[in-house]
Chain A
Amino acid sequence: MSLKLGFIALTDCAPLVVAKERGLFEAEGLDVILSREASWANIRDKVASGALDGAHMLAPMALTGAVIAPLSLNANGSSITLSRPLAEQVRALGGDEAPAGAPRTAHALKRLIDRRAAAGERPLTFAVVFPFSIHAYLLRYWLADAGIDPDRDVRLTVVPPPRMAARMLAGEVDGFCVGAPWGAVTEAAGAGEIWAQGSRLWRGAPDKVLGLPAAFAERDPGAVQALLRALIRAAVWADEPGNREPLAEMLSRPAYVDAPVAALRRALVEPESFVLQFHGEDAGYPRRAHALWLLSQMRRWGQIDETVEVRRVAEQVYRPDLYLQAAEAVGAPARGPQLDAEPLQPMFDGRAFDPARFDDYLASFPLRRRPAPVQ
């Protein structure tokens, strides 16, 4: 059976690339073409229209479309980067140096933003890769934690990942949150400094999923299982420490991420940021609690309103049942549905999301968009 799968040039497309390069799709009788796409909007539209049979997809994007997510492709890997000049100014204001292992908060940045506003200077510009992305929610969370309103105190924009370094170098973007390797590429270009690792803000944060059209999954459950088996085997391979160097080389090729090996190594090999995971620590399990957390942030920032039935969406889109069936078939260690009842790992501010207390969690944030009053 032949399938066309889309991906974006990011380190976390690794399971797709590994399955292709190591013949794992073929071993399942699948003839897979990987298609590098220029934008997330293309990924969404091509999956919706059937031009792609599935794709590397932002988890929040999957939650807004007629797709299912039977596999989480990775955990961790994103980072918040500040431009060189901004990093220096923030450092001069105290810098929020944190104890080892803890991330920097944005309190010094808040002081800088207040000064700039008082002096009548332009607001700082922060970029993410898509409005519905873990990068947008992590950046918003980090800013709001220090009292910075992401919709009023800064300008939020969207820049395609491979252009981040150039836009920062040109002074058009002061900070951004993006997936690997583009933070490292920007740092290597001398344009910015990785200021906070996503994995330190929230270890195990949900990121990309495999998005499949719901109709495809219903029509051909056998093909879905074959695809999942190949990708779970690929994820297990990619997590082996001994395979990380060849993985960095594989991903760096022009057909895939097309970035220097040194930049790819940052999130795959180097000990202090050895954090990108594809299978270990339940990274592959499509956890409904993650879906609910993402939906809580969509609600927090006014992207969805209260009419969206979050639990129903999480259950329709996230399909741990399909994941567990495939993981068992390939003998990959995977924890079961008890994961969905457990609260998530606390974030850097100490808050832990308990899926059973969705509304309380949302109400605990002083900074949030309140729903418009009912007419």
Chain B
Amino acid sequence: MRVLVIDPDKARAALVAEGLAGVKPLEVRSAPSFEEVESAVDGFDVIVIACDSPDRDTLESLREQTAHNPRPVVMFVDRSAPGLAEAAVEAGVAAYVVDGLAAKRVRPVLEVALTRFQLMQKLRGDLAKAQADLAARKTIDRAKGLLMKERGLDEEAAYQLLRKLAMDSGRPLGAVAADLIAYANVLKGGS
């Protein structure tokens, strides 16, 4: 089975290709856009494509024009694996069968693609959260410093005051700290 992965996100494409290498017998190629592989599409059995790629509509139009008409897996995989196609769409990946391959042969490919997309989503989410946590910690440190300077508190007392403000207002510590810094700037005549 030959699988084509179209994904503008190179890191994710590599992750999917690496995951598919475990499904044998398989030959995998990836490209950032459909345009780059348009002439070679007939050589593949399955196309895995990221939903954030605008190339999906071009791929769909091939169904009309050529004998090799890619059929979206979402249209027929359901009977053999309920919920799989829906989960794939939710995770942002779609698959097409180019040449009448049986649904049960495509399923492992879509399953791998799905888990790799979910993994990438989680990794990106974790990274974004780590960055947000780091930014919040810096803000809290600045707000603590401000309270220590303006109110003559020690570090522990400044932290406890911030925590009390957060609990009283029912808001996250980082948000309260950011407000405090903003107010201090206004009072100092800054913007």
User: Are the CB atoms of B51 and A130 closer together than 8 Å?
Assistant: no
Q: Count of A residues near B, CB < 8 Å? A: 22
Q: Mark B141-162, 1 if CB is under 8 A from A, else 0.
A: 0000000000000000000000
What separation, in Å, do the CA atoms of A129 and B94 have in the docked complex?
19
Chain A residue numbers with a CB within 8 Å of B89 are 42, 45-46, 49, 51
Chain B residue numbers with a CB within 8 Å of A131 are 60-61, 63-64
Decide: A130 near B57, CB < 8 A? Known: A38-B52, A42-B51, A45-B74: yes
**Smallest CB gap from A41: residue in B:** B56
User: Are the CB atoms of A48 and B74 closer together than 8 Å?
Assistant: yes
Determine which residue in B60, B63, B65, B89 has the highest number of CB atoms from chain A within 10 A of its CB, and name it: B89
Chain B residue numbers with a CB within 8 Å of A163 are 54
Interface residue? B86 (CB, 8 A):
yes
What separation, in Å, do the CA atoms of A130 and B85 have in the docked complex?
22
Interface residue? A325 (CB, 8 A):
no
Interface residue? A162 (CB, 8 A):
yes
How far in angstroms is the closest Cβ of chain B from A362? 19
Chain A residue numbers with a CB within 8 Å of B61 are 130-131, 156-158
Interface residue? B131 (CB, 8 A):
no
Chain B residue numbers with a CB within 8 Å of A156 are 61, 65
What separation, in Å, do the CA atoms of A231 and B43 have in the docked complex?
46
Interface residue? A39 (CB, 8 A):
yes
Q: Mark A108-132, 1 if CB is under 8 A from B, else 0.
A: 0000000000000000000001110
Q: Count of B residues near A, CB < 8 Å? A: 21
* 8 Å CB interface, A48-99 against B: 48-51
How far in angstroms is the closest Cβ of chain A from B57? 5
Q: Which of B60, B65, B72, B90 contacts A51 (CB 8 A)?
A: B90
How far in angstroms is the closest Cβ of chain B from A280? 30
Interface residue? B58 (CB, 8 A):
yes
Decide: A130 near B60, CB < 8 A? Known: A49-B74, A51-B89: yes
**Smallest CB gap from A163: residue in B:** B54
Decide: A49 near B90, CB < 8 A? Known: A41-B72, A42-B51, A303-B64: yes
Interface residue? B53 (CB, 8 A):
yes
Main secondary structure of the interface of A (DSSP, over half): mixed
Q: Which of A51, A157, A160 contacts B54 (CB 8 A)?
A: A160
**Smallest CB gap from B83: residue in A:** A49
* 8 Å CB interface, B129-143 against A: none
What separation, in Å, do the CA atoms of A129 and B61 have in the docked complex?
9
Interface residue? A159 (CB, 8 A):
yes
How far in angstroms is the closest Cβ of chain A from B90? 5
Chain B residue numbers with a CB within 8 Å of A38 are 51-54, 56
Q: Mark B43-59, 1 if CB is under 8 A from A, else 0.
A: 00000000111111111
* 8 Å CB interface, B169-191 against A: none
**Smallest CB gap from A39: residue in B:** B56
What separation, in Å, do the CA atoms of A283 and B12 have in the docked complex?
43
Q: Which of A42, A48, A49, A50 contacts B56 (CB 8 A)?
A: A42
Chain B residue numbers with a CB within 8 Å of A41 are 56-57, 59-60, 72, 94
Besides A41-B60, A130-B61, 14 more A-B contacts (Cβ < 8 Å) are: A39-B54, A39-B55, A40-B57, A42-B94, A45-B85, A49-B90, A50-B86, A130-B57, A158-B57, A158-B60, A158-B61, A160-B54, A162-B54, A163-B54
Which residues of B come within 8 Å of A, CB atoms? Answer: 51-61, 63-65, 72, 74, 85-86, 89-90, 94
Can you give 27 contacting A-B residue pairs, CB < 8 Å?
A: A38-B51, A38-B52, A38-B53, A38-B56, A39-B51, A39-B56, A39-B57, A40-B56, A41-B57, A41-B72, A45-B51, A45-B89, A45-B94, A46-B89, A50-B86, A51-B89, A130-B57, A130-B60, A131-B60, A131-B63, A156-B65, A157-B58, A158-B57, A158-B58, A160-B55, A160-B57, A160-B58
